[in-house]
Chains A and B, each alone.
Chain A
Amino acid sequence: MTTPLADSGKPILVEPDLDFIRAIRDHGGDSLKKCIQCGTCSATCTITPDHDPFPRKEIAWANWGMKERLFASPDIWRCYQCNDCSVRCPRDARPGDILNIVRRECIQHYAFPRFLGRWLNQPHHIPLLLGIPAALLALTMVVRDPIESVLGIEKYDSQHIIYSYSSLFPHWVLNTFFLSLTALVIITFVISVARFWSAMKDAASHERIAKPQKNLFPSIMSVLKAVVKHDKFNLCDDAKSRFLPHFLLVFGFVSLVITVTWMVTARYNPVILIDFKYPLAFLNPWKMLANVGGIAITVGCLLMIRDRLRNSGRAGFGNYFDWSFLLNVLIVALTGFAAELMHYLRLEPHRHVVYFVHLVFVFTLIIYMPYTKFAHMVYRTAALVFIEHFGMNSDEPDSPAGNRSCGKPEVMDDVQETATV
């Protein structure tokens, strides 16, 4: 069952996908059908462009099970779920939450392979999903010695390292593991995003806006700039509670990615001319950066969890998809700190157990990235780049975007203008 995309002038044949509607309702969107299409959400939204407003029409599509429309819409990725709309919705239909669930469906839809997308949304697959990295890690422990002797890899424990985790997982093991998995993740992302991009382009071409308005590179740069600045968050009513945790998480991730890249490449990188010694001292600047990043992630996660629990009307309580990702990140951060602490305290042999758990969750976070909420990073960026690239951000009525169906009452523009004056 598919919903053809709008072809200007011709009526579109709508064949609602009931499974899609049920999926949204089953994952926290049980308010979906309450929408009466009054348009308060679109009028409220501070992010929506004036001449192609959302989320009214997106909620209508969701209501009518028009999933192809939604999956091809870059607009659903503009939304940061600040829930200004949900708070003001007269029927409590929670459009902000619905869009969040639609994005989840979208990630699942473009996932490669698809079954993994499904598994990541099913709690009963947790043992299996955690078991795979655990088993792979355990396998490396078994096969490591034979491989080392065959390849003649020098063991660390004797001279270089006084006291570290290398005895359990030497760096070559971890690096090989990480790098190959990262490559896999990148490949799946490339496939998924390519599908996503072509769907968006297809939809756009039906609406006569297929001509790029801006080059790709400047588009990417301006999106990245906006992502770093988090400036859209500040447009919402209740920006602070969302801005800070998300900013901390992004900052933490970036700092850890930099540190890890540094660590992995340091030994072979001719640019980095330092005497590389494992483990790094506590006051080593790289170590400090990693620790600060870890703290940022932990605090960010805790703030988000607090918000979801204590202020669910505003933040949205979320669903399994949201919570599994959030908790995964938190467990990675906490087990990381625990392993570090136990390392300093020389707690044998427990520290190895904790380290193992830490690694399992780190691997989980990375290998399942294209299927978890983590993927929003990539999809959102892609969608925003698409919007920039095709000039869909313009508020000019005669811009190509202006030709698209408009769900925001004109009169609201006047009201807003008057209000601003």
Chain B
Amino acid sequence: MEDKTGVFICTGYGIAEALDIEALCKVVTDDCSVPFCKTVESCEGASLQSIIEEIKNESLNRVIIAGISRRQYADHLFPDDVIVEMIALREHVVWCQPPGEEDTQMMAEDYLRMYITKVQKMQVLEPFQSEEEINKSILVVGGGITGITAALEAANAGYEVQLIEKTEQLGGWLAKQHKSIPTKAPFRDLEETGIDELITQINDNPRITVHTSANNSSISGAPGLFDVTLTSTGNGQPEGEKIDSFRVGSIIQATGWKPTDPRDHLEYGKVEDVIRNVDLEEIIKEHGRIIRPSDGKEVKSIAFIQCGGSRAKEHHSYCSSICCLTSLKQAMYLRESDDDAKAYIFYEFMRTPGLYEDFYRRAQDDPGVFLTRGEVAEVTRNGEGQLVLTAQDTMLAEEIQVKVDMVVLAAGMIPNAADGEAIRALADAKITIAKGESEAQQQAAEEKVEQLKHHEGTEILNLNYRQGPDLPSLEYGFPDSHFICFPYESRRTGIYPAGSVRQPMDGSGSREDATGAALKAIQCVEMTSRGEAVHPRAGDKSYPDFNLQRCTQCKRCTEECPFGVLNEDEKGTPLLQATRCRRCGVCMGACPERIVSFRDYSVDIVGSMIKAIEVPDEYEEKPRILALLCENDAIPAMDLAGQHRLQSNPFVRVVPVRCLGSVNFVWITEAISAGYDGVILIGCKYGDDYQCHFIKGSEIASARSDNIREKLEQMAMENERVELHQLQISEYERIPEIFNKFMEVIEEYGMNPFKGM
């Protein structure tokens, strides 16, 4: 089919009042030689329908609608084989520039030139089709409450589920509990855990295949194509023996938690009757009542000590959020067993989040429960065989002692997760040592091994990924994801951590989490089967194409990809696993050879857009700034700035990018060569509390900008002509300020001498 480009210019929203529409049409028809240019009254309703009609009637396949921001349109309005681009004349031009001014008109004309170039360079998308059939079954790793719930949810939604549990039976920690904290209003009474009923449901569900005593010793492939090998954990069959292998589409990591080990903390491990909360549950489960490990005597008084092994520098410094509730619950066990029993709870902070406050009040109201803030200094055994506990800084405002039969330390939660990146770094360091390279390299590698050796053998998922066998971790060993904005998301596409492995949580939280993760896993297999991207570019049908003939095996793409999409062959050539890809374009920004491109987004397309504007002569005193704005936060922020009618600088030309990580720095040198006076990059916040939708994009861009300085130096240009800013969507009002400040810097250095060359 022959290419036919069409431009629709909207005259509504005050656009016609602010701009010379006729002159705009002239730019389209004369400068850009696009004969089809029409004006429409608006971009909505009947006008929008007429545009769609026109596209069909005129057989247009490259279309520009110059009117309102892309974000104002619904999805799937236009046929798949038509390339449609929108110019936000309203938000980015007329609402933030003075009407009728020459500069305003020039800005609108430049945008038309840029987008006409863009649509003419873009190719129609063809979604990625795997040679093999996409598998839609779901693997759940871990048979605790999270895994069980996720398996049931996915199976009830019609998906086949493989459920792996490394121990002999399902149920996890919940099955080891005597009773559960209240899960519903009025949050007063302990409840049965209900785990047996759930296990029965699992066993009765024909869509769920349960593998107990099984370990996923290897997972290779990509979403829709994960190949899983199971080996025995040693119950029944010899340990390590292969028991099964199968293919799944996506994975829910519900590997749960293990209790903190408060060894050396208050005689734990030395005095027999000092136990952990999990041990107390086991005692009740086994004996039906609370007895002392040392002499089997029935326990009449317990001191609970909160933050056993957590929230201290020498331990795990985070709060596990459920240990306080567990101690209150266990205090109830004791009180229910004997009306004269006494439960003391010593805490630094009593934390019972949300409506659990009501459970706290209920426990507090019990005459035999004694709560105090306090620091337990020591636990000793007296002549009568009781434990004497000394606490300082109590609510009684003095140092107190209590005599108890048992001391229970409220152990916190450690995620059953491994740090994939650390394991990989450890393996790489070992390879370096084995290779026997230079002494300095050797030494660095040895230091690295020393530093990371505690990660040895900690693998949980055993992924066959270049970037490591497990999900990358955050500070405390929880899998890295933006757990507030995007729960269950991880940095490995198609793998969704849920439950306490993601964040310490109680049973109710785990069920909720499991349901959410099951939905994510279902979305993943469905979208993958259609060749679409998942979060955050959900539904994007583009995918990267690697022109490997020109690849120099520099490995920048495999290293920088935030999602571990690329494996490598022996030589280091990237091997694309397309269904892992999130389409951020970080590889495209990384590649010095520019061999990575998308059909609708490439170094050439953006570079051509940049060069499409008309740069005024040096003496006209009309500088030009190129602004590369991240589509996730900065572009919506720019829209918001327009909606708030914040007047912006007339010399800035905005080009949206998928992520700052996708910015190939050749664009910057090209822009400077083309006569732009400066380049500004605005992306998401990075660092420990990053907000980048692609985890590391803006951070990578910031690291790369060191290289650009070198280039600028070669061109005899000042470093200050390139700036990188971090911006949250809520900070839209900063945009004009950022532009104006940058313009002051440019004025200081004068106009770009390359203009007109």
The answer, among A10, A16, A18, A405, for a CB contact under 8 Å with B397, is: A405
Q: Could you tell me the distance in whole angstroms from the C-beta of B490 to the nearest C-beta in chain A? A: 40
Complex Cα gap A407–B368 (Å): 24
User: A365 contacts the other chain (Cβ, under 8 Å)?
Assistant: no
A57 and B397: CB pair below 8 A? yes
Q: Could you tell me the distance in whole angstroms from the C-beta of B743 to the nearest C-beta in chain A? A: 50
A61 and B342: CB pair below 8 A? no
User: B396 contacts the other chain (Cβ, under 8 Å)?
Assistant: yes
Report the nearest A residue to B390, measured CB to CB: A11
Q: Could you tell me the distance in whole angstroms from the C-beta of B615 to the nearest C-beta in chain A? A: 65
A21 and B367: CB pair below 8 A? yes
Complex Cα gap A6–B398 (Å): 9
Q: Mark A38-68, 1 if CB is under 8 A from B, else 0.
A: 0000000000000000000100110110100
Q: Could you tell me the distance in whole angstroms from the C-beta of A11 to the nearest C-beta in chain B? A: 4
Report the nearest B residue to A24, measured CB to CB: B367
Report the nearest A residue to B394, measured CB to CB: A60
A residues near B388, Cβ cutoff 8 Å: 13
User: B370 contacts the other chain (Cβ, under 8 Å)?
Assistant: yes
Stretch of B94-102, B232-240, B399-407, B473-481 on the interface side: B399-407
User: B298 contacts the other chain (Cβ, under 8 Å)?
Assistant: no
B401 and A12: CB pair below 8 A? yes
User: B395 contacts the other chain (Cβ, under 8 Å)?
Assistant: yes
User: B317 contacts the other chain (Cβ, under 8 Å)?
Assistant: no
B residues near A33, Cβ cutoff 8 Å: 364-367, 369
B398 and A11: CB pair below 8 A? yes
> In terms of DSSP, what is the predominant structure of the interface of chain B?
mixed
B397 and A407: CB pair below 8 A? yes
A18 and B367: CB pair below 8 A? yes
User: B241 contacts the other chain (Cβ, under 8 Å)?
Assistant: no
Q: Could you tell me the distance in whole angstroms from the C-beta of A188 to the nearest C-beta in chain B? A: 32
User: A148 contacts the other chain (Cβ, under 8 Å)?
Assistant: no
Q: Given A13-B402, A33-B364, A34-B365, are A64 and B340 neighbors across the interface (CB < 8 Å)? A: no
B residues near A10, Cβ cutoff 8 Å: 399
Complex Cα gap A167–B213 (Å): 100
Interface centre among B364, B372, B397, B403 (most CB of A within 10 A): B397
B342 and A14: CB pair below 8 A? no
A406 and B368: CB pair below 8 A? no
Complex Cα gap A57–B400 (Å): 14
Complex Cα gap A185–B738 (Å): 89
Interface centre among B365, B367, B370 (most CB of A within 10 A): B367
A12 and B370: CB pair below 8 A? no
User: B361 contacts the other chain (Cβ, under 8 Å)?
Assistant: yes
A residues near B367, Cβ cutoff 8 Å: 18, 21-22, 25, 33
Q: Mark B360-384, 1 if CB is under 8 A from A, else 0.
A: 0100111111101100000000000
User: A37 contacts the other chain (Cβ, under 8 Å)?
Assistant: yes
B residues near A406, Cβ cutoff 8 Å: 397
B401 and A37: CB pair below 8 A? no
Complex Cα gap A25–B372 (Å): 20
Chain A interface residue bracket vs B: 20 to 34
Complex Cα gap A287–B339 (Å): 58
Complex Cα gap A344–B388 (Å): 73
User: A231 contacts the other chain (Cβ, under 8 Å)?
Assistant: no
Q: Could you tell me the distance in whole angstroms from the C-beta of A36 to the nearest C-beta in chain B? A: 8
Complex Cα gap A36–B373 (Å): 10
Complex Cα gap A16–B300 (Å): 13
Report the nearest A residue to B388, measured CB to CB: A13
Q: Given A11-B401, A14-B401, A18-B342, are A64 and B396 neighbors across the interface (CB < 8 Å)? A: yes
Complex Cα gap A37–B397 (Å): 11
Q: Could you tell me the distance in whole angstroms from the C-beta of B698 to the nearest C-beta in chain A? A: 44
Q: Could you tell me the distance in whole angstroms from the C-beta of B393 to the nearest C-beta in chain A? A: 12
Complex Cα gap A18–B340 (Å): 7
Q: Mark B459-475, 1 if CB is under 8 A from A, else 0.
A: 00000000000000000
Complex Cα gap A34–B363 (Å): 10
B residues near A16, Cβ cutoff 8 Å: 342, 368, 370
User: A15 contacts the other chain (Cβ, under 8 Å)?
Assistant: yes
A15 and B403: CB pair below 8 A? yes
Q: Given A34-B365, A37-B395, are A63 and B370 neighbors across the interface (CB < 8 Å)? A: yes
The answer, among B361, B369, B373, for a CB contact under 8 Å with A34, is: B361
Q: Could you tell me the distance in whole angstroms from the C-beta of B413 to the nearest C-beta in chain A? A: 26
Interface centre among B361, B364, B395 (most CB of A within 10 A): B395
B402 and A14: CB pair below 8 A? yes
Q: Could you tell me the distance in whole angstroms from the C-beta of A72 to the nearest C-beta in chain B? A: 15
B residues near A13, Cβ cutoff 8 Å: 388, 400-403
B390 and A61: CB pair below 8 A? no
Q: Could you tell me the distance in whole angstroms from the C-beta of A395 to the nearest C-beta in chain B? A: 19
Complex Cα gap A407–B395 (Å): 9
B residues near A60, Cβ cutoff 8 Å: 395-397
Complex Cα gap A11–B340 (Å): 24
A residues near B342, Cβ cutoff 8 Å: 16, 18
Complex Cα gap A11–B377 (Å): 11
Complex Cα gap A271–B397 (Å): 58
Q: Could you tell me the distance in whole angstroms from the C-beta of A4 to the nearest C-beta in chain B? A: 10
Complex Cα gap A14–B339 (Å): 19
Complex Cα gap A16–B367 (Å): 10
CB neighbors of B among A362-421 (8 A): 405-407
Q: Given A14-B402, A15-B403, are A64 and B397 neighbors across the interface (CB < 8 Å)? A: no
Q: Could you tell me the distance in whole angstroms from the C-beta of B373 to the nearest C-beta in chain A? A: 8
Report the nearest B residue to A8, measured CB to CB: B398
Complex Cα gap A25–B340 (Å): 15
CB neighbors of B among A83-119 (8 A): none
A residues near B361, Cβ cutoff 8 Å: 34
Complex Cα gap A383–B373 (Å): 31
Complex Cα gap A298–B622 (Å): 97
Binding site for A on B (CB under 8 A): 339-340, 342, 361, 364-370, 372-373, 388, 390, 395-403
Question: 20 A–B contact pairs at CB < 8 A?
Answer: A11-B398, A12-B398, A12-B401, A13-B400, A14-B396, A14-B402, A15-B403, A16-B370, A18-B339, A18-B340, A18-B342, A21-B367, A34-B365, A36-B364, A37-B395, A60-B397, A63-B370, A64-B370, A406-B397, A407-B397
| CB-based closest 4 A-B pairs | A11-B399, A405-B397, A21-B367, A37-B395
7 additional contacts (CB under 8 A) given A10-B399, A33-B364, A36-B364 = A11-B400, A14-B396, A14-B401, A33-B366, A34-B365, A60-B396, A60-B397
